Every structure is written in structure tokens, then in C-alpha cells.
Amino acid sequence: MDYETFVAEKTHSGSASGIHPSFLPETLFPFQRALTDWAIQKGRGALFADCGLGKTAMQLVWGANMARETRKPTLILTPLAVSHQTIREGEKFNIECVRSQEGSSKGAPIIVTNYERLAKFSPDDFGAVVCDESSILKSFDGARRGEITDFMRKIPYRLLATATAAPNDYIELGTSSEALGYLGYMDMLAMFFKNDQNNSATRRFYGEAPKWRFKGHSETPFWQWVSSWARACRRPSDVGFPDGDFILPALNVREHVIQVEKARTGMLFSTTAVNLQEQREERKLTLNERCEMVAAIANDTREPVLSWCHLNDEGTLLERLIPDSVEIAGSDSDEKKEEAFMGFADGKVRVLVTKPTIGAWGLNFQHCSRVTFFPTHSFEQYYQAVRRCWRFGQTKPVTVDLVMSEGESRVMDNLSRKADAAARMFDALVAHMNNAMAVERPDLAVNKEEIPSWL
């Protein structure tokens, strides 16, 4: 028995355990219909569709089909404030759904709530569950994440929907598999990966997690396994359909480097921050100068601006320096956060200041084409923060102003490395996904002559 055959017998590939669709509205784009059809027939699967490709519409149709089949409502879990957008999308597609904050499962075939309210609901009341922007799960603490996974485990039909399942770390796909009831996270690591112990001391010095790499000959079986329970799509052509209007406008990224003659503790001169502790100190040391630069950018235009920060002091100072801005802080009530998010989306607030951990997932701000960001090592936060505005449906070129100190050059190097890793991951997933589609559904397979050159 060769290695690939051995792995295939052990991987718990996602077999179809769903239903035949009874409802696929013509208002869906053809590629959305194909992905939704696959997810309904799969029963337990993941849709990794990029920002603006219509994940909300697809999961609403999926949920409506499951509610008809199980005669129980479908629960859609969303990040804070995204539930309002989901309700609006349901009205547009004539799909009945209601928002519930206190645990009620009655009133419509689809119940929408945010993750923080999950404890008020019982899995016995639902026949299906959707985790919208499921990549946000790893932002929760272990107890919250475990609560969500345990809730899903008790429900027969499950769907994960996100643009970035694992933007630069393949092994994070294991948490998605485990939530869907396939191969567990640790079992996946043991099956496909090896812990690279080389240079572990150096990684600890830079604050990096232990690195896992593919075992010999296991990379292809790994992607085949992921393709058995997930579909990925960055543009319609990834799944064999014309891109049409789904072409992004230009993205202009401008770097602003703040030069200050301030030395960190114990230093005679200003030098590049090396480890995480030095980078945090550098960030605090240059807080005023960086915020003043962002304020100058925001105050120099009358257009909407989305300004991302990471420290409480950054948010407080930015709100003071930008007269017509509103800050959303972690200490704000859910009601106050939602009011500010919707105020910005509706054009009532010109400049929104907040952290990626609060508002970088799921919200649609295509009316805004100006973004400011203080870089950190989190590529996913950066990606999601930018894609709130730079997404399908945006009509203007988007300008992103990255504001950093002179000593933070290593942060940008790390972000660039992670961006390359994310591109490679999606290239591999889309290629293997198309191979799987050619076997499962020849009518949906991508014509090899139409595969873009970058594949």
C-alpha cells in the first residue's frame, strides 16, 4: 500500500450527508447557485468565499433549505452588528429571518444572533447552524471557542462561511474540520504535519508559535482532504464561471514612516525593534506622532475614512484629533457598538475609529474608500480590515495608508511573508478543489484552458 492510499483511508473525508435542494432562487448568481447547491448536498461543509462574493445570501438559502428539511429553524451566528446586515439581506432575497438576542427560536425559519449570545440558546431547538465569518472563532478565548464547537456538534447540519479560513497558517484548517465533525485538530496534525523543532529558541525570541510543516508526500493528500469538505472561491472563475462584475478596483497602499529621535529604554539611539517586547515599546513610544499622522490624513479629506488602531490610547487620541470621528471601544456596550457601526455604514458618521478585534469581520463598508492602519504581525487582521472596504461592490479605487515608526520595519517584512503564504495556500486549495469538482460534478468543473495563469 502506497502512502497516499494509506492516508486516504485514515482522513475521514467529508462524505455527502446533506439533502437535495428544494429552494435555489434565480436571484443568486450562477456561481453562488453552484456553491450553495454543493453546500446543501454536503450537509456539513465550509464555504471559503472572498469578501463581497455573497456569502450571506448563500448561507441564507442554505439555512432556508435545512429549515424546510428538518422542520426546525436554522441558527445563524454572526459577529457583532453583522446580524443587522444579515436581516437586510434576507429581506432582499425574500427569505424570512428574525434577530433574537434572548434565546428565542420561534418566529421564522431562520434565527440570527451574534456569537456572544450563544449561551442563551439550546441546540435542541435547531436543525442546522451557520457560523458566519467562522475564522473569527480563533479570536475568542478557549472557553468561548469550545462552547461554539460543542453547540455545533449537537446539530446535524452545519455550515462555516468565511473569506479567510487560514490566511497564513494551514494547520488552522483543523479547527474548521473539527467543528464540522470531520478529522479532529490534533488528529489532523498527527496525520499530515511534523513539528519542526529547528530554531525553536529563535522563534520563541521573536514571539512566533512552533512551526509545523508537511510530512513527506502528505501535501497533496492534505489538500484533497480539505477539498472533500470545503469549497474556496476568490472570484467566480475559480469555480468555472465568468467573473463579470466581480472585478476589484485598484488598491493603493501608501507607507508613512514616522522618524522620531526617541530611543527605547536602555538604548542610546533609535534602532529597529527586534522582538515583540521591543516592538510594543516602540509602538507606545511613537503613539502621539503616529496618531497625528493618521489625523492629518483623515482631516485632509471630506470622504469617509475607516481608521484602525490596536491600543486604547490610540483610539482615544484619534477621536480627539479627528473632530467628526466616532470611536468604538471594547468597553462600549453592544448596543452602542452596533449603533456606531450602522451609523458609519449609513453615512451618518464620517470617520470610524476602532480595533480589528472589534469590527474587522463581516461588515460591509463599500461606501468608504479610505483606510488607515497601524501594522502588526497579524496578517488576518490586516486583510480583514482592508477588505471591509476593498471588496466586490466597491466602485472606487481604495487607498490604504499604513502608518508606522522607523523601527517597525520587521513588522512589514513579516506581513509580506504571510501574504505570500496566504496566496500559496489559496492557490493550492483552489487547484485541488477543481480536481475534486471534476470527479464529483463534471458540469461544475473548471475547464483547464480557462484556468488563470497564476494557477
Q: What is the mean pLDDT of the chain?
A: 84
pLDDT tier at 229 (50, 70, 90 boundaries)? very high
Calculated CA dihedral for residues 2, 446, 388, 80, nearest 10 degrees = -60
The bridge status of strand 193-196 relative to strand 211-214 is antiparallel
Sign of CA dihedral 321, 325, 328, 331: positive
Q: Would you state the pLDDT for residue 62?
A: 97
Please name which of 329, 332, 355, 359 lies closest in space to residue 345, comparing C-alpha atoms.
359
pLDDT band per the 50, 70, 90 thresholds, residue 292: very high
Q: What's the maximum distance between 2 C-alpha atoms anywhere in the chain?
A: 71
| Residue 74 confidence (pLDDT) | 97
In this prediction, residue 268 carries a pLDDT of 42
305 vs 344: CA distance, rounded Å: 9
Is 60 exceeded by the pLDDT of residue 265?
no
Task: Work out the pLDDT band at 385, boundaries 50, 70, 90.
Answer: very high
**Residue 452: φ, ψ to 5°:** -60, 155
Per-residue pLDDT reduced to its tens digit, 52-97 = 899 999 999 999 999 999 999 999 999 887 888 899 899 988 999 9
Lowest mean pLDDT among 33-42, 139-148, 278-287, 318-327: 139-148
Q: Return the percentage of the chain with pLDDT > 70, whole number.
A: 82
Residue 270 has pLDDT above 80, yes or no: no
Residue range 47-56: mean pLDDT, rounded: 92
Determine the Cα–Cα distance for residues 173 and 290; give it in Å rounded to an integer. 35
Highest mean pLDDT among 93-102, 190-199, 416-425: 93-102
Q: What is the mean pLDDT of residues 224-247?
A: 90
Q: Residue 346: CB partners within 8 Å, gap ≥ 6?
A: none
Q: What is the pLDDT of residue 136?
A: 73
What does the pLDDT read at residue 86? 92
The most confident of 181-190, 288-297, 404-413, by mean pLDDT: 288-297
What is the distance between the alpha carbons of residues 218 and 215, in angstroms, rounded to a whole number?
A: 5
* Cβ atoms of 58 and 163 closer than 8 Å: no
Q: pLDDT tens across 154-167, in order?
A: 999 999 998 876 65
Q: What is the pLDDT of residue 76?
A: 96
Candidates 392, 389, 327, 324; CA nearest to 354 is 327
pLDDT of residue 206: 43
Residue 123 has pLDDT above 50, yes or no: yes
- pLDDT at residue number 141: 61
Out of 4-13, 184-193, 311-320, 354-363, the most confident range is 311-320
State the pLDDT at residue 204: 47
pLDDT at 275: 59
Encode pLDDT of 175-202 as tens digits.
Answer: 888 889 999 888 998 899 988 765 555 4
Please, which residues bridge with residue 398 across strands?
A: 251
Question: 101-110, 285-294, 344-353, 433-442 — which is least confidently predicted?
Answer: 433-442
Q: 201-210: long-range contacts (C-beta < 8 A, 24 or more apart)?
A: 205/275, 206/274, 206/275, 206/276, 207/275, 207/276, 207/377
Q: For residues 191 and 176, what is the distance between their CA atoms, to the nearest angstrom?
A: 16
Q: Indicate the range of 24-38, 98-112, 180-194, 433-447 predicted with least confidence.
A: 433-447
CA pair distance 401, 85, nearest whole angstrom: 27
- Regarding predicted confidence, which is higher, 404 or 169? 404
Q: Give the orientation angle of helix 379-387 with respect to helix 409-440, to 10 degrees.
A: 70
Question: Which residues have C-beta within 8 Å of that of residue 296, sequence separation ≥ 6?
Answer: none
Query: What is the reported pLDDT for 409?
Result: 76
Closest CA to 400 of 390, 391, 410: 390
Domains of the chain, CATH where assigned: 3-244 (3.40.50.10810), 251-415 (3.40.50.300)
Name the residue among 46, 18, 234, 14 with its Cα closest to residue 137: 46
